[in-house]
Structure 1
Amino acid sequence: MVIRSLHTLAVVAVVLAVTACASGPASGPGPSPSPASPPATSPDSIPSEAPQITIGSPVADATVSVPFTVSGEANTFEAALTVDAVDESGMVACVRHLTATSGSGTPGTWEGTLAFGPEEDALPVRLRAYARSAKDGSVVGLVEFPITISPDRPPIILTSPACGQVYEVGSLILVTGTANLFEAALTVDVRDASGTTVATLQVTADECCVESNFSSRLTLPADLSPGLYDVVAYSLSAKDGSVENEFPVQIEVRG
């Protein structure tokens, strides 16, 4: 009986040893799960915890003289946004399409100039900045507040082309406005988004040293790429020849 019991205990010990080997060491913590991949950027996937667009300058209720610079920060799809000024009747006095320094989830800064002829009296407008939804074209991220446009008249005013006017490649632009300049001389450039001049025109106003009219025609190059361009009227300083009195109006050129 003793021999049989010892034999039985030996068999049990062997079975337990084999089972332990098969099971391996006690399992510890499993491998850490892979971090989740960041969501892909898509139209309008801008963080909601901060405004998409802010206007830093000018401030609400400010009085400004044309042309004036508008600047701020934005976080919009592909960094695109639009700035405009709308009068009390709902008429858009001027519009400019801009690209911030970054977007699509990364905040950037932006800056642009609105230039249009002032009225005889102070003009109340609403300054607006907004983006267009890539999904349906609707306005998104709108910020707006009132400002006043002073009746002060700058040395150069372009009345044609107007802000946002559309032209075809190779078409003729009627360039008109007023100037109050020494020797009545000014230059009108067409500049691309990088500031490179793609067409230029020398213009002389009707009279020297008082505000007077000017009118001329400028032909857009036939090989111009479709896109946004600035028509900029300016004069050269009699002291050092530097550019001054710039009056830029953004136009769209289509192919």
Structure 2
Amino acid sequence: MAVSRMLALAAIAASVALISCSTPGSGPPTALPTASPSPPPATTPPVTAEPAISITSPTAGETVSVPFTVTGDANTFEAEVTVDVVDQSGLQDCVRGVTATSGSGTPGTFEAVLAFPPEVDPLPIVVRAYSHSAKDGSIVDLVEVPVTVTTERPPIILATPTCGQVVPPGGLILVTGTAAVFEAALNVEVRNASGVAVVELPVMAEECCVESPFSARLTLPTDLPPGRYDVVAFDLSAKDGSVQHEFPVQIEVRG
């Protein structure tokens, strides 16, 4: 009897507690909205400017034989590019100025043939391409590629004139070198920037078919416009008469 009474009292107490904790018309507790994490701010990758000059050939570590061709891309003032080679002591072995296909804000390409007498041992060199500042003439946009020049001797080699030699209009050029060509016969031309010969001179080496020396004197026209010219030695194929074994050296005509 006492237990029943205690149970009844407990049930009444529970009912009172439930009524006191409930609000009429209210539903279950509403969960507060959870804020979504903000995405990290978007980052813009840095813009990397293309180099003004790059060398595409030869590549670093390559072995080349003279004459060899340097090619690359350029976007320089007035499309002007200078290509040269320097040895380990820093001496310049050859230099050539070229004009790229475009420049001054429009990318272009360039090509330069470098020819100089090979050494008796393989020669480590650095091929360089650069432009000159329009402000003060200093070297800018310099790129370098290390290569090695073999001892292989081409059939025709010009020892003089040398790369970059300055000659006045009407000036005398001493042309010397060696040749190992059929009948010892070769030709020397001075060509303008368009490849047109402005001077032609037949030359004979001392011996046929083996490397032997040759020399000749070549006089430039007195009215030759200033600029860059190529002195090119070559021979003609005994098979079809085509030009072969060209060895070009760039000079500058300047009064």
Shorter chain as denominator, the TM-score bin is 0.7 to 0.9
What is the TM-score with the length of structure 2 in the denominator?
Answer: 0.81
1:109-120 paired onto structure 2 within 5 Å: 109-120=109-120
SS at match of 1:203: strand
Please give the alpha-carbon distance, in whole angstroms, between the structure 1 residues aligned to 2:153 and 2:217. Answer: 23
Match of 1:229 in 2: 229
* Larger gyration radius, structure 1 or structure 2: 2
**Per-residue CA distance 1:2-49 (angstroms, 9 max, x = gap):** xxxxxxxxxxxxxxxxxxxxxxxxxxxxxxxxxxxxxxxxxxxxx971
Opposite residue 231 of structure 1, the aligned amino acid is V
1:187-198 paired onto structure 2 within 5 Å: 187-198=187-198
Choose 164-173 or 48-57, whichever is displaced more: 48-57
Please give the alpha-carbon distance, in whole angstroms, between the structure 2 residues aligned to 1:48 and 1:150. Answer: 37
SS at match of 1:98: strand
Please give the alpha-carbon distance, in whole angstroms, between the structure 1 residues aligned to 2:63 and 2:88. Answer: 16
Of all paired residues, the percent bearing the same amino acid is: 67
Opposite residue 49 of structure 1, the aligned amino acid is A
1:18-167 paired onto structure 2 within 5 Å: 49-167=49-167
| Inter-CA distance 166–55: structure 2 relative to 1 (3 Å threshold) | same
Match of 2:31 in 1: none
What is the TM-score with the length of structure 1 in the denominator?
Answer: 0.81
Q: Which runs of 5+ in 2 are unaligned?
A: 1-46
Check the 8 A contact 2:174/2:218 in 1, yes or no.
Answer: yes
SS at match of 2:228: strand
SS at match of 1:60: coil
Please give the alpha-carbon distance, in whole angstroms, between the structure 1 residues aligned to 2:243 and 2:133. Answer: 38
Residue 138 of structure 1: CA displacement?
Answer: 1.1
Opposite residue 51 of structure 1, the aligned amino acid is P
Check the 8 A contact 2:55/2:145 in 1, yes or no.
Answer: no
Please give the alpha-carbon distance, in whole angstroms, between the structure 1 residues aligned to 2:137 and 2:169. Answer: 25
Compute the RMSD of aligned alpha carbons: 1.0
